[in-house]
């Protein structure tokens, strides 16, 4: 029997999931603000096109909330609550909801204490999804996402990268193919009401990741800049205001997930091998006349 997955926000992670689903067993509908044709995917422009949930068995929502709330629920809450065929709903949240833990470990039982606005918006969105009675909801708190097209290589090749040093700072990460693996495993083993952290095994300082990427490229290490002296956007600086190590034990214990890329080295090496590095090289200046 064919299943129907509606991806509200057909972006980076949703595309990775769609690639893992067997084409002969799934109908996939994707939405974007400016829908473009996608092989094997029924694309809709949303907000805009009318969305019907008739026959939809699975929903994946990856549209980020803002100060005004969750766009999906603002528009579709009643439809989603009334949908009769739903077997699984996945909401992609982030580990930012945990706030700062001074480098300590957090897991799914850790109380959420977001400090940044984006964390507060996510926490509220999680609660709003959870408030829909009877919804087969699964929340996935994603660490920093990387993969082909989303790695540190472009910045390194343009010479604009810096090693921002903040002693004790670590981040957790996750390769996009491992996000898709976790989502597919959850779809195969639904457990409504569950929350999963989705991250790799090795939280590390950001400069370690950039240094390894430079090594793969055969480039000199970027210059070190103390965090206090670094010119950063408010958004970038807010990432450094939270310091924690995120446990992924539950996805292994409950879903039987074995990560393809359990650490940044294996993941970056795969991204490096998949990338077309020539596209990052700026065109040469025209010869002087």
User: Residues 6 or more apart from 36 whose CB is under 8 A from it?
Assistant: 43
Give the lowest-confidence range in 101-110, 213-222, 280-289. Answer: 280-289
Query: Domain containing 30 — which CATH number?
Result: 3.40.50.720
| Domain-located, residue 191 | yes
Closest CA to 152 of 271, 244, 260, 240: 271
| Domain-located, residue 285 | no
Q: What average pLDDT does range 203-222 have in this prediction? A: 93
Q: Note the pLDDT of residue 248.
A: 98
pLDDT digits (tens, 9 = 90+) for 233-280: 888 888 888 999 999 999 999 999 999 999 999 999 999 998 865 555
Q: What average pLDDT does range 87-108 have in this prediction? A: 97
Q: What average pLDDT does range 214-227 have in this prediction? A: 91
Q: What average pLDDT does range 72-101 have in this prediction? A: 96
Q: Note the pLDDT of residue 276.
A: 66
| Domain-located, residue 286 | no
| Domain-located, residue 55 | yes
Q: Note the pLDDT of residue 286.
A: 42
Beta bridge pairs of residue 138: 90
| Domain-located, residue 117 | yes
Asked whether the whole model's pTM tops 0.85, one would answer: yes
How is 194-262 classified by DSSP, letter by letter? Answer: -EEEE--S--B-HHHHHHHHHHHHT-PPPPEEEGGG----HHHHHHHT---EE--HHHHHHH----S--
Distance, in Å, from the CA atom of 105 to the CA atom of 86, rounded to the nearest integer, reads 34
| Domain-located, residue 105 | yes
| Domain-located, residue 170 | yes
Q: Note the pLDDT of residue 30.
A: 94
Q: Note the pLDDT of residue 249.
A: 98
Q: How many domains does the chain have?
A: 1
Q: What average pLDDT does range 209-231 have in this prediction? A: 91
| Domain-located, residue 137 | yes
Q: What average pLDDT does range 6-28 have in this prediction? A: 93
Has residue 121 got a pLDDT over 70?
Answer: yes
Q: Note the pLDDT of residue 27.
A: 94
Has residue 289 got a pLDDT over 80?
Answer: no
């Amino acid at each position: 029997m064919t299943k129907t997955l509606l991806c509200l926000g057909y972006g980076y992670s949703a595309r990775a999931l769609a690639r893992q689903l067997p084409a002969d067993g799934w109908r996939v509908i994707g939405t974007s603000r400016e829908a473009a044709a996608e092989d094997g995917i029924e694309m809709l422009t949303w907000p805009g096109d009318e969305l019907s949930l008739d026959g939809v068995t699975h929903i994946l929502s990856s549209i980020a909330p803002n100060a005004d709330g969750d766009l999906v629920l603002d528009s579709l809450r009643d439809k989603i609550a009334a949908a009769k065929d739903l077997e699984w709903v996945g909401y992609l949240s982030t580990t930012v909801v945990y706030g700062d833990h001074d480098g300590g470990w957090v897991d799914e039982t850790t109380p959420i204490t977001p400090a940044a606005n984006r964390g507060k918006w996510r926490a509220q969105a999680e609660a709003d999804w959870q408030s829909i009675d009877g919804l087969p909801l699964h929340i996935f708190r994603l660490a920093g996402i990387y993969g082909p097209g989303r790695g540190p290589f472009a910045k390194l090749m343009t010479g604009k990268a810096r090693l921002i040093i903040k002693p004790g700072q670590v981040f957790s990460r996750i390769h996009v193919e491992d996000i898709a693996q976790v989502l597919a495993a959850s779809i195969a083993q639904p457990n409504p009401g569950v929350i999963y952290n989705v991250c790799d095994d090795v939280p590390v300082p950001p400069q370690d990741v950039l240094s390894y990427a430079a090594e793969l490229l055969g480039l000199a290490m970027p210059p070190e800049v103390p965090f206090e002296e670094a010119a950063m956007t408010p958004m970038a600086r807010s990432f450094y205001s939270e310091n924690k190590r995120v446990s992924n034990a539950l996805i292994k214990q409950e879903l039987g997930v074995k990560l393809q890329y359990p650490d940044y080295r294996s993941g970056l090496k795969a991204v490096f091998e998949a990338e077309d590095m020539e596209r990052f090289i700026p065109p040469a200046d025209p010869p002087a006349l």
